[in-house]
């Protein structure tokens, strides 16, 4: 990309909706712009505004459209580019929004800087390519993220499963893995930049390596990759993002057991715990598989915290089906359930099932599970009261409580009051009470000084 006027530096803003992979891809896009001498700006002042959309639910579609219109309203003079999964599945609807200059389907999103540089920005145009219809894989390392503690690491793209309620496999294409050498290079760069925690993400994370098995004699998989990264970087935390319970193998559990720097936290793509609903969703596991895997994980890491995606109101879901899921969340101790109501998506098999659950029932079931999640969270987090825990400081002050946020390795947020303005990365905190979505702690050195004085 070239800039015609040497005295002028163009600016770009990127707004991201949806998953952690989207966050990584947005950073990758910005990295390309930065290499071409663009600078990052606020959406209200940028010359070019990119909206990286999501389409996982109807609500995500609505939020994507809302973000597009808000950007146009706040900066009517900017060139507006819409990309991501919503742009992939509904490019015409994106282009119909007045003020959108260019729609780039998700399969071409990593080429946006190149596309813009070539002048593909005719009013209300949709960029189309004759190339591969699968979403692209990053080919080089990004510089990093605005956060100085946590960075996202994409290792996998796409999905081969095709759950009956989902269209992401259509938006993202087939499952493909990023080469281990590329992954290692990205982690090395993050380490040099000073990040202390790496969130390993993918669209179907546990499928990593399946497509590369012929190149590695079948030995390349998620567990082998994490083992290699955790061994090479003992000072970095490695956290797995959302994973299908079917991919929690004995080898992966062994990695959690062996490496302290693999965080004791998993976000399960659970959806339901009713056997018949799981079959109708075309999921790859049964409830007993989930219980067996989680029990093994708890045995290896007693401080394990679970979060999970949980869907309510899937077509034909009975009161008994819902109750099975509610009881399972309690028995599994899912402290942070991400509960959402089933969203009927055109073009999916589930949308054709005659017995659709009324919206009022979906909404009520979602409320009940969120309330259940709050009870579970308080039960689980109470176990940490009085303990001294090591947290990674995020340098974010929550304005309503005027406390700094940090996180335990198991992802539980711990809020505390700084004793000074030092840039200390880690903090030992004594847990005292509940606070917002997590816990409140006090800097433990004061307690330690009291204990030492008493001993003397």
Same domain, 79 and 191: no
Same domain, 319 and 356: yes
Predicted local distance difference test score (pLDDT) of residue 121: 46
Q: Say how far apart CA 243 and CA 206 lie, in whole Å.
A: 6
The helix (H) or strand (E) run that includes residue 39 is: strand 39-40
Burial of 425 (0-12, 13-18, 19+ CB in 10 A): middle
Task: Assess if residue 133 is contained within a domain.
Answer: no
Residue 68 structure tokens: 């597009």
Same domain, 194 and 306: yes
Same domain, 94 and 234: no
Q: What is the mean pLDDT of each run of 10 residues along the chain (456 residues)?
A: 60 94 91 90 93 92 95 94 94 92 90 80 60 56 66 93 92 92 92 92 95 69 96 96 95 96 97 98 96 97 96 97 98 96 91 95 97 96 96 86 93 89 83 94 66 33
Helix (H, G, I), strand (E, B) or coil at 37: coil
Same domain, 212 and 247: yes
Contact 329, 366 (CB under 8 A): no
CATH of the domain at 254: 3.80.30.20
Residue 418 structure tokens: 């700084």
**By residue range, what is the domain housing residue 277?**
150-383
Q: Say how far apart CA 315 and CA 378 lie, in whole Å.
A: 31
Predicted local distance difference test score (pLDDT) of residue 421: 61
Q: Order of strands across the sheet with 237-240? A: 150-154, 197-201, 237-240
Domain count of the chain? Answer: 3
Tally helices (H) and strands (E) across the chain: 14, 19
The pTM score is: 0.87
Same domain, 305 and 435: no
Q: Say how far apart CA 95 and CA 72 lie, in whole Å.
A: 13
Same domain, 177 and 282: yes
Spell out the alpha helix ranges (H) of 6-90: 20-35, 58-74, 85-89
Residue 169 structure tokens: 């496999």
Contact 308, 329 (CB under 8 A): yes
CATH of the domain at 37: 3.40.50.12160
Predicted local distance difference test score (pLDDT) of residue 452: 37
Q: Say how far apart CA 321 and CA 361 lie, in whole Å.
A: 13
Same domain, 201 and 223: yes
Task: Assess if residue 2 is contained within a domain.
Answer: no
Q: Which of 296, 308, 297, 208 is nearest to 267 (CA)?
A: 308
SS (H, E, C) 113-134: HHHHHCCCCCCCEECCCCCCCC
Helix (H, G, I), strand (E, B) or coil at 352: helix
Same domain, 185 and 313: yes
Q: Say how far apart CA 438 and CA 408 lie, in whole Å.
A: 10
Of 126, 160, 192, which residue is a domain's last? Answer: 126
β strands within 283-329, DSSP E: 305-312
Predicted local distance difference test score (pLDDT) of residue 399: 83
């Amino acid at each position: 990309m070239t800039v015609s006027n040497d005295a002028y530096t163009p600016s770009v803003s990127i707004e991201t909706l949806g998953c952690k992979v989207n966050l990584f891809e947005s950073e990758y896009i910005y990295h390309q712009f930065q290499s071409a001498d663009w600078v990052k700006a606020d959406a209200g002042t940028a010359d070019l505004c990119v909206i990286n959309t999501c389409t996982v639910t109807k609500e995500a579609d609505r939020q994507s459209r809302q973000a597009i219109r808000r950007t146009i309203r706040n900066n009517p003079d900017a060139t507006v580019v819409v990309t991501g999964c919503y742009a992939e599945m509904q490019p015409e609807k994106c282009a119909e929004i007045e003020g959108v200059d260019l729609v780039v389907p998700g399969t071409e999103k990593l080429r946006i800087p190149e596309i813009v540089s070539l002048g593909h920005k005719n009013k209300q145009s949709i960029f189309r390519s004759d190339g591969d219809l699968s979403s692209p894989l990053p080919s080089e390392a990004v510089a990093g993220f605005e956060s100085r503690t946590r960075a996202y690491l994409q290792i996998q793209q796409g999905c081969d499963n095709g759950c009956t309620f989902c269209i992401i496999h259509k938006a993202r294409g087939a499952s493909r893995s990023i080469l281990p050498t590329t992954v290692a290079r990205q982690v090395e760069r993050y380490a040099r930049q000073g990040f202390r925690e790496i969130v390993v993400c993918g669209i179907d994370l546990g499928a990593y390596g399946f497509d590369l098995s012929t190149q590695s004699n079948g030995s390349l998989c998620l567990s082998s990759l994490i083992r290699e990264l955790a061994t090479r970087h003992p000072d970095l935390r490695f956290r797995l993002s959302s994973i299908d319970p079917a991919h929690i193998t004995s080898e992966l559990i062994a990695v959690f057991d062996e490496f302290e720097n693999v965080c004791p936290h998993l976000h399960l793509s659970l959806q339901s715990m009713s056997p018949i609903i799981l079959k109708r969703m075309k999921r790859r596991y049964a409830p007993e598989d989930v219980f067996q895997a989680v029990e093994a994980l708890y045995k290896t890491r007693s401080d394990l915290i679970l979060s999970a995606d949980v869907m309510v109101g899937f077509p034909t879901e009975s009161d008994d089906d819902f109750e099975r899921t509610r009881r399972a969340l309690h028995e599994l101790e899912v402290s942070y359930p991400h509960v959402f109501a089933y969203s009927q998506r055109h073009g999916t098999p589930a949308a054709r099932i005659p017995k659709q659950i009324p919206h009022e029932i979906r909404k009520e079931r979602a409320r009940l599970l969120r309330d259940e999640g709050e009870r579970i969270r308080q039960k689980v987090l109470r176990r940490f009261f009085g303990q001294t825990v090591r947290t990674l400081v995020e340098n974010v002050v929550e304005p309503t409580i005027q406390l700094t946020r940090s996180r335990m390795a198991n992802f539980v947020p711990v809020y505390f009051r700084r004793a000074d303005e030092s840039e200390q990365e880690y903090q030992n905190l004594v847990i005292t009470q509940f606070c917002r979505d997590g816990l409140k702690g006090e800097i433990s050195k004061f307690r330690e000084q009291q204990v030492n004085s008493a001993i003397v």
